[in-house]
Amino acid sequence: MEAIFNKIIVPIDGSDASLHAAKKAIKLAQNIGAKIIVIHVINKFEVKKYIEISHDKEDIVKNELQEYGFKYLRHVKDLAKSAEVPVEIVLSEGIPAEEIVNTAKKENVDLIIIGSSGGTAFRKKLLGSTTDRVIRWSSGIPVLVITY
């Protein structure tokens, strides 16, 4: 019998909630023989905010945010490899929910596993919840929200 979920995408943002969701995704993938794609999105609005706050040049800010993103991605990749789960990592820049859903569609994933909260309270109030947007925009791709 073929597994219902063969490819799972897991967004991470460095928060405890996203790491918790990633660990659950790895465990599920391990149990059903699925592959996971771990994605980190550099929020284009945060790039602008950090430039204003730090007065650094855009390329310096982007490089720093990319370093953090790859750090998070490598950590989850190492966890998946330890569990012998096939894993791919993706770093992109844009609007997080949009990038997550677009990547999920492009990669023909069967499931999105996402943490119930991440980022900062201020950002959620200002921009809305990435998790909520992923649920609304996923159109046909099931979304499993892991509470933390």
pLDDT in tens, 4-56: 999 999 999 999 999 999 999 999 999 999 999 999 999 988 888 888 888 88
Set out the domains of the chain in order of their start, with CATH numbers. Answer: 7-146 (3.40.50.620)
Q: How far apart are CA 91 and CA 141, in angstroms?
A: 21
Select the more confidently predicted residue: 121 or 142: 142
pLDDT for position 127: 44
pLDDT for position 119: 55
Report the predicted TM-score, pTM, of the whole model to 2 decimal places: 0.89
Residues whose CB falls within 8 Å of the CB of residue 101, separated by 6 or more in sequence, listed in order: 112, 134, 137, 138, 139, 141
Residues whose CB falls within 8 Å of the CB of residue 65, separated by 6 or more in sequence, listed in order: 42, 46, 47, 50
Select the more confidently predicted residue: 4 or 122: 4
pLDDT for position 19: 96
CB 104 within 8 A of CB 51: no
Name the residue type at position 108. N
The residue written with tokens 């569990």 in the block is 83
Q: Helices (H), strands (E): how many in the chain?
A: 6, 5
pLDDT for position 12: 96
